[in-house]
Amino acid sequence: MAKVRVTAKTRREVEARLARIARAGGIFLDGEALRELFPDPSINTGDDYRVDDDRFVALKKGLFKLKRLEEGDASAQIWRRFENPKTGEPGATLAVPVDPHPHEVKGVHPVSEAMNAAFGGGTGVEEQLFRGVPILSVYAPVRDSFEDVVGVVEAYASLAPDRLRVDSLDY
């Protein structure tokens, strides 16, 4: 498969759009609901994934609204930081996805440098390859009423939407 080329202008435009979505998510998503979403974070591994349904639905509705802020291919999801119960290593759990199957995420996911920046209160940006197509992610912190970072919202989009769209719920 040939490498997908993305112009600097396209990357800047996509990054700016995703930054606006992520920043809005960091402001408007309910940090209190996110903090209380998991009754017991230690059981959220593999296929045993239990959450407070009311809080989950409220946060998911917020993510759907975020997707409508900007035109074009984009999606969003929320991450929570947890310790891997098997290894004790830090990681993150996909807390609230918008799309039905955005990734094959099972249990604790490694925390990238960009994600770690958002868990630290800043903003992080990273580019990854997904099925041979570059995907750009922008991470922003989600805070509770005490301004503590309780999670991270990730806004992501394909840098080549003609080759791969990340928004499977395009409407």
167 domain residue, yes or no: no
What are the two backbone dihedrals, phi and then psi, of residue 77, each rounded to the nearest 5 degrees?
A: -155, 165
152 domain residue, yes or no: yes
3 domain residue, yes or no: no
Give the Cα separation of 8 and 12 in Å (integer): 6
CATH number at residue 90: 3.30.450.20
* Boundaries of domain holding 15: 8-158
163 domain residue, yes or no: no
Residue 146 or residue 96, greater confidence: 146
2 domain residue, yes or no: no
Tens-digit pLDDT profile for residues 130-144: 888 889 999 999 999
Domain count, the chain: 1
Tens-digit pLDDT profile for residues 52-68: 778 888 888 998 899 88
Tens-digit pLDDT profile for residues 29-41: 999 988 887 655 5
